[in-house]
Amino acid sequence: MSAAISPFWAKGFEATTLSDLEEATGVDRSTIYNSFGGKTGLYRSATAAYVDRSHEALFEPLHKGTSGIADIVDFLDRLATMLGSDVNPPGCLIVNDMAADIDHEATNRYLECLQTGFQKALQRSSSLGDSNPHKTGQRSQTLTAAILGVNIVHRNSANASLAQTLIDGLREEVSAWSTEEPVVLPL
């Protein structure tokens, strides 16, 4: 399945041809139709695999970390490293094709993993007294929107350095949350 991710990620759903998929996967188009029902079915399988891979590489530390703010900073560092690598196509497969509206399930799952991960990290942070618990919802939504924006900016390879600059700004902002006035939680 991972072989099908690359052409969809690099070109987008619409521009990826069956010939591109045959070349990338080593599977002929009749097998693509028989196994996946065609290009759309293969795309849905590829996006599901991509979200699984993203969860393991990026989102899991947000969901299962122990430090709150530091977990978010770690996420941003991992994202910066991934975006700075020449191994993957620019941007994010899900964000790149979000406007094409081909796979609601993968899009919703990606957004859920991202926003829920931020919420969990921020809740850990507030339980440690490191950030304001009343801002958890707002901040998780802001971070989700910011990450979508970073990926859109990165999609255009001419803007790759701007995407890194945006991540640097996010890292500074998130780090500042832990230096806010201490929050006293009621007993």
The pLDDT tens digits of the residues spanning 42-77 come to 999 999 999 999 988 899 889 999 999 999 999 999
Q: What pLDDT, on the 0 to 100 scale, is given for residue 130?
A: 85
Average pLDDT score, the chain: 90
| Residue 103 clears pLDDT 90, i.e. is over it | no
With beta carbons less than 8 A apart as the criterion, state whether 124 and 65 touch: yes
User: How many structural domains compose the chain?
Assistant: 1
42: in domain: no
Q: How many CB atoms lie within 10 A of CB 52?
A: 14
What is the tens place of the pLDDT at every residue in 147-176? 999 999 998 877 789 999 999 999 999 999
- Tell me the C-alpha to C-alpha distance, in Å, between residue 107 and each of 50, 88, 116: 11, 19, 14
Question: Once rounded to an integer, what is the mean pLDDT over residues 23-31?
Answer: 94
What would the two tokens of residue 19 be? 């010939």
80: in domain: yes
Q: Which of helix, strand or coil describes residue 77?
A: helix
78: in domain: yes
21: in domain: no
22: in domain: no
Q: Which of helix, strand or coil describes residue 185?
A: coil
Provide the domain limits for residue 61.
48-177
10: in domain: no
65: in domain: yes
Q: What pLDDT, on the 0 to 100 scale, is given for residue 2?
A: 82
Report which DSSP code applies to 156. S
Q: Which of helix, strand or coil describes residue 173?
A: helix
Query: Which pLDDT band holds residue 33 (cuts at 50, 70, 90)?
Result: very high
pTM value? 0.88
105: in domain: yes
| Residue 185 clears pLDDT 80, i.e. is over it | no
What is the tens place of the pLDDT at every residue in 121-152? 999 999 988 888 899 999 999 999 999 999 99
What proportion of the chain, given as a percentage, has pLDDT over 70?
95
Query: Which pLDDT band holds residue 101 (cuts at 50, 70, 90)?
Result: confident
Q: What pLDDT, on the 0 to 100 scale, is given for residue 99?
A: 75
Q: What pLDDT, on the 0 to 100 scale, is given for residue 4?
A: 93
Q: What pLDDT, on the 0 to 100 scale, is given for residue 43?
A: 94
